[in-house]
C-alpha cells in the first residue's frame, strides 16, 4: 500500500470580484498517493486551475482566499503555512508547469537561468555547479545541444522546447509532487505526444506523483491511474481510470464521454449536453449539474448530493445512485 | 459531377520585410496545393500550427491574394475576376472563424451583426431584413428575443451560433470553417458540430473544415486532406484514410492522438522534433527531416502523387511515386 | 431606447468613479462661468483705472471688497478678467482640439487601415512634427500665420494633430487585424463601410479620452502663446495674457495678479485630466462588465 502524499479536504477557495463572490473551488476533497498520477478533468471555468493554485498558495491575492478546508502534504497543512514557508516548498517539494510556456518563462533571461536559480535557491549549489546540473537536466528532458540551448532566450525556442525547459525547471529539485496544468493544450498533437511521454518517463524515474489537469479525456485515459471529474467547483466523480471509462456513473461524466467525437465509434450524431457551464457566482442550487441533466429528479434541485463510494474505489456525487 | 470548388496549384508566399541591403526572406506558406470540393460535401483539412491551412483558406476566399495558381468556383476562375465582379461571389462563399470572441464586433448588437451581410448585398427593405435575421437565428438555435443583446452577453457556444448565422444568412454554397470548435468546451463543441451537420443537410452546403483535432475531422468530414508545411501530403475519403493511412506523417499524426480508452494499447511512433520553419523549408519531401522511414531520395526530389484507389492520393517516395492521376 | 439606457448607465458609472466625478464637477463650473460671465463678473473686465493699480483684494480688509481678487497693472479687476477669460481659454482649448481630432482621426484611420507607402509617408511627416517641442512648433506656425486668437487655435490644432494621429493609427492597426473585420471583408463590405461603420466606432472611445486630455494641454499652450503675446490681442481678457501682463507684478509684491489666473489654469487642467482618466477606465469594456 502506497502512502498518502497529498490530501485535500473540503477545500473552498473563493474569489471576490466586482460582480460578486466566485466560488471557484467549493468543497473539494481528493487524495494523491505517492508516485501516482491523478487526472483532474473538467471544462474551462470549472475551478480546476484554481484548485491547483490553491495547493501551492498561488491563487490571486487579495481577491482570492481559502475560506475552509485542509491541504495536507506529507502530514503538514499547507493552508496554515506562511508565504515564506510556502516559498520553500514551491519548486522544491511541489512544482508546477503551466499551459503556456511562452508566458511562464521570463523573456529577458536565457532559459537556463531559471533552472540555475532554482538549484541555487533550493539546493544551495554554487553557480558553476548549478550550471552543470542544469545542462544535465536539459539533456534529461531531451533538449539537443543543451550547452548551447541553455543560453538562448525563450523566443528562440519552439513551443515544445519551451515546455521541455519548464519541465526541467520543475523537476530540478526532484519534487514529490508535480502539478501539470494543461501542459500540452497549446501544443500540436505530435509535440503533445512527445511531452506526455516525457512526463511519464521522468515520473517513473524520479518517483514523482503527478496531478495532471486537463480537459482532454484521451490524455487522462492514457496517462493517469486515477481520475477526478470536476464540474462547477465540485468533484462529481472519482475513480480509478479503468472503472471510470468502463462504467462512468455520473450523468455529467457520461454526457462528457458521449459528447466526444471518437475515432473508434460510428460517426453518428453527437450527444451534446444542452446549455452551457454555469456561472460560479450564483451556481445552481442542489446538484450543480441538474439544469443540464437529462435524468434529473425533483430532489436534484433541492439537495446537494455528497460524494459517496458506490463501488470499491469509485465515488460519485449523484442522487440517482 | 463537376466540383463546386476546385483549387489548382495554389501558392502563397509572404515577403518578410528584410533590413536594407539584406536579401529578403520568403515564407513559403502554401506551396502548390490542389484539391476539389463537391456540393454538399465536407472536406476536412488537418495539419499542425503553421502548416498553412488558414492561409490556404483565406486565399481561396481572396481574403489574401494568392501568389499563384487558380481557384475555380463552378468552373469560373475567381482569382482572375476584378474585385467588383468578385463581390457577387462573396455571398456564395463564406467563412466561420475560430475565435467567437474576436470575430464579433463588440460594439454592435447581434441583430445588427446579422443584418450587416444583407445590407452589404443590397437588401433595402428593413422588414425583409428583420424577417430574414429572425428566421436565421431560429435556424441556428438562437432565441430571437436575445437579438438586441451585445456579443459579450453571450456564452462562447452562443457566439459561435451567431458567427454561423452571419455566414449562412446570404445562403452561400460553400463555407470555410476555420477551427470553429477549437475554442469551445467539449460539451458545447458537440452542440456546434451537430448544428453544422444539420445545416449542411438542410442547405446543401459544402464545407472546407479546417482543424487540428483529428477526432473532430473524423466525425464531420467526408474526405480528409492532411497538410504539412504548405503542402498536402495525403488526401482520401475519411473511412479509408483512418483505416489505411499511407503517408508516414499521417500515420504519426494518428498515433499521436490520445484515445479516451484506458485499455487501448498503441503502437507508438512518436515523431522527433518540431515542424521546421516555412521560411527555409526542407528540400525534397518537406517531411523528410522528421520522417522515421526516410530514404536518400526524400531529401532530393519532392515526391510524386500515388493513388492506391481512385480517391486516395498520397505524396510519398515509399510508394514508388508512379504518377497515376 | 437602448441608447438612452446606455447613456444613463455611462453617467451612472461616471458618477461612481470619484475622480472622474470631481473632474466633471470642476468642468461643469468652468462651463457655467464661460457661458454666463456677465452674471458673475463684479466689474467690467476692460475698464482700466491707473489710479487703482495693484490694489489688493478681500484679504486686505472691507474697503477693498470692490475688487475681490485685486487689480492688475492697469487697475483692471482680476476676478472679472479671469471670469471673462474662461470663455476664451476654454474655447481655444476646445476648438484647437477639435481641429487636431478631426485631422488626426482622418490621418490615423487612413494611415492605419491602408498601411503601405501611404502609412510610411504620413508617419514620417508626423515624426518630423514630433521632433519639435510643441510650443516651439506653435510659435513657428504663428510666425507664419501672424498673431491672433483664431490663428493660435489653428496653430495649436496643428501641433496636437500628430499625437492624435498616432493614437488613432495604433488603435486602427489593432482593430484592422480583428477577425470581425476579416469577416466583414469576407462578406464583401467596401473599405468605406469597414472604416466608417466598424473601425471608427472602436477608435472613437480612445480618441475622445485622448482629446479630453489634450484640451488641458491646449489650454496651457494657448496660455503660453498668450504669455508671449502671440495669442489673444490685448486688451481682451485671456489667462495667459494676464500672466504675461502682470509677471512684473511679482517683484512689486502684487502676487494676486499672477496667482489667480495661474490657479484658474491649474484647476481647468486638473479637471480635464481627472475626467480624461476616468473616461479611459469607463470606456474600457473589460471594466464595464
Q: In chain B, what are the domains?
A: 5-92+170-283 (3.40.50.300), 107-169 (no CATH)
Identify the bridge partners of residue B71 per DSSP, sorted by sequence position.
Answer: B7
Q: Which three cell numbers stand for residue A97?
A: 508547469
What's the whole-number average pLDDT of chain B?
Answer: 89
- Residues of chain B in contact with residue C186, where contact means CB-CB under 8 angstroms, are 61, 63, 90, 94-95
Closest-CA residue to B105 (of B172, B159, B169): B159
Work out whether the CA dihedral C265, C266, C267, C269 comes out positive or negative.
positive
Q: Which residues of B touch C202 (CB under 8 A)?
A: 105-107
* Residue B121 to residue C185, Cβ atoms within 8 A: no
How many angstroms separate the most distant Cα atoms in chain A? Answer: 67
Most B CBs within 10 Å: which of C2, C115, C180, as the mutation test of the B interface? C180
CATH of C32-287, one of 1.10.15.40, 1.20.200.10, 1.10.3720.10, 1.10.150.650: 1.10.3720.10
- Answer yes or no: do A261 and B220 touch at CB < 8 A: yes
CA gap B196, B202 in Å, rounded: 10
Per the DSSP assignment, residues forming a β-bridge with B175 are: B94, B207
Pick C180's closest partner by Cβ from B105, B120, B170.
Answer: B105
Give the pLDDT of chain C (289 residues) as one tens digit per residue: 455 566 676 677 777 778 888 888 999 999 999 999 888 888 888 888 888 888 888 887 777 778 888 888 888 888 999 999 898 888 888 999 999 999 999 999 999 999 888 899 988 988 888 888 888 888 899 889 888 888 889 999 999 999 999 999 999 999 998 889 999 999 989 999 999 989 998 898 889 888 988 888 888 888 888 888 887 777 788 888 888 777 777 777 788 888 888 899 899 989 988 888 887 777 765 455 4
**Radius of gyration of chain B from Cα atoms?**
21
Judge whether residue B325 has pLDDT over 60. Answer: no
A218 and B258 within 8 Å at the Cβ level: the answer is yes
CA distance linking residue C274 with residue C23, whole number of Å: 5
Neighbours of chain B (3+ CB pairs under 8 A): A, C
Residue B89's nearest CA partner among A38, C187, A6, C8 is C187
What angle, rounded to 10 degrees, do the helices at C239-246 and C78-114 form? Answer: 130
Residues in chain A within 8 Å Cβ distance of B212: 188-189
pLDDT for B222-260, tens place per residue? 999 999 999 999 999 999 999 999 999 999 988 888 888
User: How many of the other CB atoms lie within 10 Å of CB of A199?
Assistant: 25
Residues of B in contact with A259 (CB under 8 A): 186-187, 189-190
Chain C residues with CB-CB distance to B82 below 8 A: none
Q: Would you call the peptide bond into A62 cis, given omega within 30 degrees of 0 as the criterion?
A: yes
Of C2, C186, C198, which is closest to B61 when you measure between CB atoms?
A: C186
Residue pair B209/B43 in contact (Cβ under 8 Å)? The answer is: yes
Beta bridge partners of B14: B27
B270 min Cα distance to partner chain C (Å): 35
Sheet of B93-96, strand order: B93-96, B174-178, B206-211, B42-46, B223-228, B231-237, B312-315, B305-309
* Residues of C with Cβ-Cβ distance to B95 under 8 angstroms: 182-183, 186
C186–B90 CB contact, under 8 Å: yes
The whole-number pLDDT of residue C285 equals 55
Round to whole Å and give the CA distance between A228 and A239: 7
Nearest CB partner across the interface for B63, out of C180, C185, C189 = C185
Interchain contact B270–A (C-beta under 8 A): yes
Instruction: Check CB contact under 8 Å for B63 and C186.
Output: yes
Nearest CA in chain B to A276: B188
Inter-residue contact C274 to C26 (CB < 8 Å)? yes
Q: Do C185 and B95 touch (CB under 8 A)?
A: no
To the nearest whole Å, the CA of B34 is away from the closest chain A CA by 24
Interface contact B91-C188, CB threshold 8 A: yes
DSSP B165-221: HHHHTT--SEEEEESTTTTS-HHHHHHHHHHHHHHHHHHT-EEEEEES-HHHHHHH-
Residues C86-116 as b or e (16 or more Cβ within 10 Å = b): bbbbbbbbbbbbebbbebbbebbbbbbbeee
N-term to C-term CA, chain A: 29
Provide the edge-to-edge strand list for the sheet that holds A64-73: A20-33, A4-17, A64-73, A76-77
For chain A, what percent of residues have pLDDT higher than 90? Answer: 50
Cβ–Cβ below 8 Å for A276 and B220? no
Look at C285 and B102 and tell me if their CB atoms are within 8 Å: no
Task: Say what the pLDDT of residue A261 is.
Answer: 85
Instruction: Name the grid cell of A121.
Output: 535557491
Confidence of residue B22 (pLDDT cuts 50, 70, 90): low
Whether B192 contacts B14, CB under 8 Å = no
H or E stretch at A114? helix A111-123
Nearest CA to B220 out of B172, B170, B181, B260 is that of B181
Q: What is the pLDDT of residue B206?
A: 96
Q: Between chains, do B155 and A276 touch, taking CB under 8 Å as contact?
A: yes
Q: Which residue from A minimizes the CA distance to B218? A: A263
C199 close to C175: Cβ distance less than 8 angstroms? yes
Residues of B in contact with A264 (CB under 8 A): 259, 261
Separation CA B237–CA B313 (nearest Å): 10
Rg from Cα positions in chain C: 22
Q: CA nearest B257 in A: which residue?
A: A189
Report the range of poorest mean pLDDT among A273-282, B10-19, B20-29, B81-90: B20-29
Rounded to 5 degrees, φ, ψ at A44 are -65, 140
Residue A231 neighbours by CB distance under 10 Å: 27
Among A188, A259, A263, beta carbon nearest to B218? A263
CB–CB contact B116 C182 (8 Å):
no
- For position A188, what pLDDT does the model report? 83
CA distance C254 to chain B (A): 55
Amino acid at each position: 500500500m502506497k502512502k498518502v502524499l497529498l490530501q485535500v479536504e473540503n477545500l473552498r477557495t473563493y474569489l471576490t470580484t466586482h460582480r460578486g463572490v466566485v466560488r471557484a473551488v467549493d468543497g473539494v476533497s481528493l487524495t494523491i498517493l505517492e508516485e501516482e498520477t491523478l487526472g483532474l478533468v473538467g471544462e474551462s471555468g470549472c475551478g480546476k486551475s484554481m484548485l491547483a493554485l490553491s495547493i501551492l498558495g498561488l491563487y490571486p491575492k487579495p481577491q482570492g482566499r481559502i475560506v475552509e478546508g485542509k491541504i495536507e502534504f506529507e502530514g503538514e497543512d499547507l493552508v496554515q503555512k506562511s508565504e515564506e514557508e510556502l516559498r520553500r516548498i514551491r519548486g522544491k517539494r511541489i512544482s508546477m508547469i503551466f499551459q503556456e510556456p511562452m508566458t511562464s518563462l521570463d523573456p529577458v533571461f536565457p532559459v537556463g537561468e531559471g533552472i540555475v536559480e532554482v538549484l541555487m535557491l533550493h539546493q544551495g549549489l554554487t553557480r558553476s555547479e548549478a550550471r552543470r546540473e542544469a545542462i544535465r537536466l536539459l539533456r534529461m528532458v531531451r533538449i539537443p545541444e543543451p550547452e548551447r540551448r541553455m543560453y538562448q532566450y525563450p523566443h528562440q525556442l519552439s513551443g515544445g522546447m519551451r515546455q521541455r525547459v519548464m519541465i526541467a525547471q520543475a523537476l530540478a529539485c526532484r519534487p514529490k509532487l508535480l502539478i501539470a496544468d494543461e501542459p500540452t493544450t497549446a501544443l500540436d498533437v505530435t509535440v503533445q505526444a512527445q511531452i506526455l511521454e516525457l512526463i511519464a518517463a521522468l515520473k517513473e524515474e524520479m518517483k514523482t506523483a503527478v496531478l495532471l489537469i486537463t480537459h482532454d479525456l484521451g490524455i487522462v485515459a492514457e496517462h493517469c491511474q486515477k481520475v477526478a471529474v470536476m464540474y462547477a467547483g465540485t468533484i462529481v466523480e472519482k475513480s480509478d481510470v479503468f472503472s471510470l471509462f468502463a462504467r462512468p456513473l455520473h450523468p455529467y461524466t457520461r454526457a462528457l464521454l458521449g459528447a466526444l467525437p471518437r475515432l473508434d465509434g460510428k460517426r453518428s450524431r453527437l450527444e451534446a449536453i444542452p446549455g452551457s457551464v454555469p456561472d460560479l457566482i450564483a451556481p445552481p442550487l442542489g446538484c450543480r449539474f441538474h439544469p443540464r441533466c437529462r435524468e434529473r429528479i425533483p430532489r436534484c434541485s433541492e439537495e446537494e448530493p455528497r460524494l459517496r463510494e458506490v463501488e470499491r474505489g469509485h465515488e460519485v456525487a449523484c442522487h440517482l445512485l | 459531377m463537376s466540383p463546386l470548388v476546385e483549387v489548382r496549384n495554389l501558392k502563397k508566399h509572404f515577403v518578410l520585410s528584410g533590413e536594407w541591403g539584406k536579401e529578403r526572406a520568403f515564407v513559403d506558406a502554401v506551396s502548390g496545393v490542389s484539391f476539389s470540393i463537391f456540393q454538399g460535401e465536407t472536406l476536412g483539412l488537418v495539419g499542425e500550427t503553421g502548416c498553412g491551412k488558414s492561409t490556404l483558406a483565406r486565399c481561396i476566399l481572396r481574403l489574401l491574394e494568392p501568389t499563384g495558381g487558380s481557384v475555380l468556383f463552378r468552373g469560373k476562375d475567381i482569382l482572375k475576376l476584378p474585385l467588383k465582379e468578385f463581390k457577387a461571389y462573396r455571398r456564395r462563399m463564406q467563412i466561420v472563424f475560430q475565435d467567437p470572441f474576436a470575430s464579433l464586433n463588440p460594439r454592435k448588437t447581434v441583430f445588427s451583426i446579422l443584418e450587416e451581410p444583407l445590407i452589404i448585398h443590397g437588401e433595402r427593405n428593413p422588414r425583409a431584413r428583420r424577417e430574414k435575421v429572425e428566421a436565421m437565428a431560429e435556424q441556428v438555435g438562437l432565441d430571437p428575443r436575445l437579438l438586441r443583446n451585445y456579443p459579450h452577453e453571450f456564452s462562447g457556444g452562443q457566439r459561435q451560433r451567431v458567427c454561423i448565422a452571419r455566414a449562412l444568412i446570404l445562403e452561400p454554397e460553400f463555407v470555410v470553417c476555420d477551427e470553429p470548435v477549437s475554442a469551445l468546451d467539449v460539451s458545447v463543441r458537440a452542440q456546434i458540430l451537430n448544428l453544422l451537420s444539420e445545416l449542411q443537410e438542410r442547405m446543401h452546403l459544402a464545407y472546407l473544415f479546417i482543424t487540428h483535432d483529428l477526432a473532430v475531422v473524423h466525425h464531420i468530414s467526408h474526405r480528409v486532406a492532411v497538410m504539412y508545411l504548405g503542402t498536402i501530403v495525403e488526401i482520401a475519403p475519411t473511412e479509408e484514410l483512418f483505416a489505411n493511412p499511407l503517408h508516414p506523417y499521417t500515420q504519426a499524426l494518428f498515433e499521436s492522438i490520445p484515445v479516451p480508452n484506458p485499455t487501448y494499447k498503441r503502437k507508438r511512433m512518436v515523431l522527433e522534433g518540431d515542424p521546421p520553419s516555412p521560411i527555409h523549408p526542407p528540400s525534397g519531401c518537406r517531411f523528410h527531416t522528421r520522417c522515421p522511414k526516410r530514404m536518400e531520395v526524400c531529401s532530393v526530389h519532392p515526391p510524386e502523387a500515388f493513388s492506391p484507389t481512385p480517391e486516395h492520393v498520397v505524396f510519398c517516395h515509399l510508394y514508388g511515386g508512379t504518377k497515376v492521376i | 431606447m437602448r441608447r438612452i439606457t446606455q447613456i444613463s448607465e455611462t453617467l451612472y458609472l461616471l458618477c461612481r468613479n470619484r475622480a472622474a466625478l470631481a473632474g466633471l464637477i470642476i468642468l461643469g463650473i468652468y462651463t457655467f462661468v464661460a457661458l454666463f460671465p456677465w452674471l458673475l463678473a463684479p466689474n467690467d473686465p476692460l475698464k482700466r483705472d491707473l489710479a487703482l493699480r495693484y490694489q489688493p483684494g478681500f484679504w486686505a480688509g472691507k474697503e477693498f471688497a470692490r475688487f475681490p481678487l485685486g487689480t492688475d497693472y492697469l487697475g483692471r479687476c482680476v476676478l472679472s478678467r479671469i471670469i471673462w477669460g474662461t470663455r476664451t481659454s476654454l474655447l481655444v482649448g476646445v476648438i484647437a482640439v477639435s481641429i487636431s481630432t478631426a485631422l488626426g482621426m482622418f490621418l490615423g484611420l487612413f494611415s492605419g487601415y491602408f498601411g503601405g507607402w501611404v502609412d510610411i509617408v504620413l508617419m514620417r511627416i508626423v515624426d518630423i512634427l514630433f521632433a519639435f517641442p510643441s510650443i516651439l512648433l506653435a510659435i513657428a506656425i504663428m510666425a507664419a500665420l501672424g498673431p491672433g486668437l483664431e490663428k493660435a487655435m489653428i496653430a495649436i490644432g496643428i501641433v496636437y494633430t500628430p499625437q492624435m494621429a498616432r493614437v488613432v493609427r495604433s488603435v486602427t492597426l489593432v482593430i484592422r487585424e480583428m477577425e470581425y473585420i476579416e469577416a466583414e471583408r469576407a462578406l464583401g463590405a467596401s473599405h468605406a463601410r469597414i472604416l466608417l461603420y466598424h473601425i471608427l466606432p472602436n477608435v472613437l472611445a480612445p480618441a475622445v479620452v485622448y482629446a479630453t486630455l489634450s484640451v488641458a494641454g491646449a489650454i496651457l499652450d494657448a496660455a503660453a502663446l498668450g504669455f508671449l503675446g502671440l495669442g489673444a490681442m490685448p486688451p481682451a481678457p485671456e489667462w495667459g495674457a494676464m500672466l504675461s501682463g502682470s509677471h512684473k507684478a511679482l517683484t512689486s509684491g502684487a502676487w494676486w495678479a499672477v496667482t489667480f489666473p495661474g490657479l484658474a489654469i491649474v484647476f481647468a487642467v486638473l479637471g480635464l485630466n481627472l475626467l480624461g482618466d476616468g473616461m479611459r477606465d469607463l470606456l474600457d469594456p473589460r471594466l464595464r462588465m
